[in-house]
Amino acid sequence: MRNDLAPVAWSAGLACALATLTPAAAQPVAVHAAGNPILADGRYYSTDPAPVVVGDTLWILAGRDEAPADVNDFIMDEWQALSTRDPASGDWLHYPAIARPEAVFHWAEPGRAYAGQIVPGRDGKFYLYAPVLQAKSDAKDRFAIGVAVADSPAGPWTDAHPAGPIVSQTRPVANDIQNIDPTAIVDDDGRVYLYWGTFGQLRGIELAADMVTPKGPEVKVDSLDGFFEAPWLMKRKGVYYMLYAGNRAGPRSDCTPAVYHACIAYGTAPSPLGPWTYRGVILRPVSSTTSHAGAVEFKGQWWLAYHTADAAGGGHFRRSVAIDRMDWDDSVSPPAILPVTPTRHPAPPPAPTRNIAAMATPTASNAPVPVQYWIKALNDGLVRDAPLPPDLWGSWTPHNPASQWIEYRFDRPVTLNGARIRFWADQPAGAGVGVAPPKAWRMEYWDGGWKPVRAPKGFGTGVDGFQSATFAAVTARCVRAVFDASGAQGTHAGLAVQEWEVLAPTAQAPRAGSGSAPACDAQP
Ligand code: FUB
């Protein structure tokens, strides 16, 4: 992926210079995106997109992830923006730093510039609803929502309510939730509505025409199936829509198999404060654990902006904004949002490889795998510096057996003579608690029964890199890696594997399998 930067070449010095321009209006840099993500080269991560149409321009407000690759935390010090007159052209202007919490809100502390939204007011000004940490507060959770105002989405932004946040754990109604992820609309009649929430808590309230003063009773929404966070309120043809990140998880869930991941789902309501009815999933889980989306109609086409971990060096805390077309089914009532197909920038075909795991259907001795883990992590080709549970197959429970196995089933017999495995552990070798590397592991193949491979070599158990194994070639449709768990005297640790490669004798072009190869040991 190439990002052409014009009219000026990008440099770290330029980035610093632009950052110091705040609170003056930020200066843009032209970017050409060959596809998704928009900023894809890993120099500048962008997250939590909130699109807004201003005249003939589509703007996207985004946060900025700055976590190092091995840090699992939201390091987010500022907001940025992107704008285009045609999302399909790939031509964007990037406004690298348009606001920082402590620079806009005197009552906020630096950092945690989480998901905000810019909403055009009826007075011609723009209002930024921004979750920030209160610098001085006794609240258990100091996140609060401030509102800033500007003449342009690029800023400069000033506090529209210098008295403090409009939502916190003490206002407008005392709560004990994390007050983040605001979304607001100005309705056709000029009335203003604000929703916010995370960790399954969704609140809504009407605001006065000044865009900041809470008015009327607060509503608690509990009818949006699997609501986790990231609400996005919008209206089309008289119907109110709420998009959100859902995490109702399980092997048969239409949302997500692993609880740390999220789908984007939506519901509808006949009025801005509900009642809300769940309608379905519009975006499958993306490559980052969080999913956060916003939708908007621009020049007759609807677009869904969301984020992924797909940029160079990307990760769960190094996310990047993507945008794809969103279409409607107007033959039903209320009109339904059709599932969005995520697109990527063009990439060269993958190189031939001996690893044919991608063709296999994975399963494990502890199926259905607990929802914090993800069985498909075994052969997704991804190894992260600091994996989270859904980047792993895992087996931990409070009481772990002495042995576990993972299995690959192929659609047809394959020939293998090696394997590589990447273990993960939070306890040292020998531990009987937590997750530890196995005492030993071996490979088996199905030949009318499970048979050990011959001439096994390697089979290390370290966690510092891939552990290689070789064996005499076998041809089979099903193979297993069998683990002797760490521990002793009836107390065993759990096991976790980030990636399991199975190696053919020669490299071949990567191919996908059916994803539903049948069991070998269930056949007569
Ligand atoms: O970016 C920080 C948080 O991650 C957002 O507020 C959530 O919606 C999730 O995307």
DSSP string across 261-286:
S-EEEEEEESSTT---EEEEEEE---
Rg over CA atoms, the chain: 25
- Residue 8 corresponds to which amino acid? V
Query: Which amino acids bring their CB within 6 angstroms of ligand 1?
Result: 47-48, 63, 74, 114-115, 180-181, 229-230, 290, 292
Tokens of 315: 């990760």
What pLDDT score does 25 carry?
61
Q: Looking at ligand 1, which residue's alpha carbon is closest to its atom 1?
A: 114
Domain membership flag for residue 6: no
Domain membership flag for residue 245: yes
What pLDDT score does 488 carry?
81
Angle, vertex CA 346, rays to CA 345 and CA 349, nearest 5: 135
Closest to 231 in 3D by CA, of 188, 259, 192, 193: 193
Count the alpha carbons within 13 Å of 382 in the hemisphere toward its beta carbon: 22
Question: Rounded CA gap, 319 and 46, in Å?
Answer: 6
Q: Separation of 230 CA from ligand 1 center, angstroms?
A: 7
Judge if 419 and 305 occupy the same domain: no
Atom of ligand 1 nearest to the CA of 47: 1
- Residue 238 corresponds to which amino acid? G
What pLDDT score does 216 carry?
84
CATH number at residue 516: 2.60.120.260
Question: Rounded CA gap, 238 and 209, in Å?
Answer: 20
Judge if 317 and 368 occupy the same domain: no
Q: Separation of 114 CA from ligand 1 center, angstroms?
A: 6
Q: Are 141 and 169 in contact (CB under 8 A)?
A: yes
Q: Are 480 and 444 in contact (CB under 8 A)?
A: yes
Pocket test for ligand 1, best of 61, 72, 114 (most atoms within 8 A of CB): 114
Domain membership flag for residue 453: yes
Question: Rounded CA gap, 26 and 63, in Å?
Answer: 15
CATH number at residue 269: 2.115.10.20
Judge if 322 and 458 occupy the same domain: no
Pocket test for ligand 1, best of 45, 48, 66, 316 (most atoms within 8 A of CB): 48
Number of domains in the chain: 2
Q: Separation of 62 CA from ligand 1 center, angstroms?
A: 11
Count the alpha carbons within 13 Å of 290 in the hemisphere toward its beta carbon: 27
Question: Rounded CA gap, 323 and 60, in Å?
Answer: 10
Give DSSP secondary structure letters for 437-483. Answer: --SEEEEEEESSSEEEPSS-EE----SSSPEEEEEEEEEEEEEEEEE
Judge if 357 and 332 occupy the same domain: no
Judge if 330 and 448 occupy the same domain: no
Q: Separation of 91 CA from ligand 1 center, angstroms?
A: 26
Judge if 378 and 287 occupy the same domain: no
Q: Separation of 199 CA from ligand 1 center, angstroms?
A: 11
Question: Rounded CA gap, 399 and 487, in Å?
Answer: 12
Which of 290, 308, 337 corresponds to the end of one domain? 337
Judge if 149 and 78 occupy the same domain: yes
Alpha helices in 68-148 (DSSP H): 101-104
How many C-beta neighbours within 10 Å does residue 270 have?
12
Q: Which domain holds residue 251?
A: 12-337
Count the alpha carbons within 13 Å of 309 in the hemisphere toward its beta carbon: 21
Domain membership flag for residue 5: no
Q: Are 193 and 206 in contact (CB under 8 A)?
A: yes
Tokens of 320: 């990047």
Domain membership flag for residue 2: no
Domain membership flag for residue 342: no
Angle, vertex CA 186, rays to CA 181 and CA 187, nearest 5: 120
Question: Rounded CA gap, 127 and 121, in Å?
Answer: 7
Judge if 287 and 370 occupy the same domain: no
What pLDDT score does 21 carry?
41
9 contacts: CB under 8 Å, gap ≥ 6 = none
Q: Looking at ligand 1, which residue's alpha carbon is closest to its atom 2?
A: 114
- 367 SS3 class: coil
Q: Separation of 355 CA from ligand 1 center, angstroms?
A: 35
Atom of ligand 1 nearest to the CA of 291: 10
Angle, vertex CA 344, rays to CA 340 and CA 349, nearest 5: 135
Judge if 300 and 229 occupy the same domain: yes
| Phi, psi of 159, deg, nearest 5 | -65, 125
Which stretches does DSSP call E strand in 140-262?
143-150, 158-159, 183-186, 192-196, 202-207, 214-221, 227-236, 239-246
Domain membership flag for residue 428: yes
Q: Are 485 and 439 in contact (CB under 8 A)?
A: yes
What pLDDT score does 12 carry?
32
Q: Are 342 and 36 in contact (CB under 8 A)?
A: yes
What pLDDT score does 26 carry?
66
Atom of ligand 1 nearest to the CA of 131: 6
Q: Separation of 423 CA from ligand 1 center, angstroms?
A: 29
What pLDDT score does 17 carry?
38
Question: Rounded CA gap, 265 and 277, in Å?
Answer: 11
237 contacts: CB under 8 Å, gap ≥ 6 = 335
Judge if 280 and 395 occupy the same domain: no
331 contacts: CB under 8 Å, gap ≥ 6 = none
Judge if 62 and 109 occupy the same domain: yes
Judge if 276 and 419 occupy the same domain: no
Q: Looking at ligand 1, which residue's alpha carbon is closest to its atom 9?
A: 290
Count the alpha carbons within 13 Å of 492 in the hemisphere toward its beta carbon: 19
Q: Separation of 329 CA from ligand 1 center, angstroms?
A: 29
Q: Separation of 113 CA from ligand 1 center, angstroms?
A: 9
- Residue 226 corresponds to which amino acid? G
Q: Separation of 311 CA from ligand 1 center, angstroms?
A: 17
Q: Looking at ligand 1, which residue's alpha carbon is closest to its atom 3?
A: 114
pLDDT tens-digit series, residues 392-442? 999 999 999 999 999 999 999 999 999 999 999 999 999 999 999 999 999
Closest to 387 in 3D by CA, of 317, 441, 284, 459: 317
- 13 SS3 class: helix
The residue assigned the tokens 């900025």 is 64
Q: Separation of 483 CA from ligand 1 center, angstroms?
A: 37
Atom of ligand 1 nearest to the CA of 307: 10
Q: Separation of 406 CA from ligand 1 center, angstroms?
A: 33
User: Which ranges of the chain have pLDDT less than 70?
Assistant: 1-26, 523-524
Q: Looking at ligand 1, which residue's alpha carbon is closest to its atom 8?
A: 230
Domain membership flag for residue 347: no
What pLDDT score does 251 carry?
86
Question: Rounded CA gap, 49 and 30, in Å?
Answer: 18
Atom of ligand 1 nearest to the CA of 230: 8
Question: Rounded CA gap, 437 and 460, in Å?
Answer: 10
Question: 278 has which bridge partners?
Answer: 267
Pocket test for ligand 1, best of 180, 287, 321 (most atoms within 8 A of CB): 180
Which of 337, 371, 386 corresponds to the end of one domain? 337
How many C-beta neighbours within 10 Å does residue 361 have?
20
Question: Rounded CA gap, 246 and 261, in Å?
Answer: 9
Atom of ligand 1 nearest to the CA of 319: 1
Which of 337, 369, 388 corresponds to the end of one domain? 337
> What's the DSSP call for residue 413?
E
Question: Rounded CA gap, 456 and 182, in Å?
Answer: 57
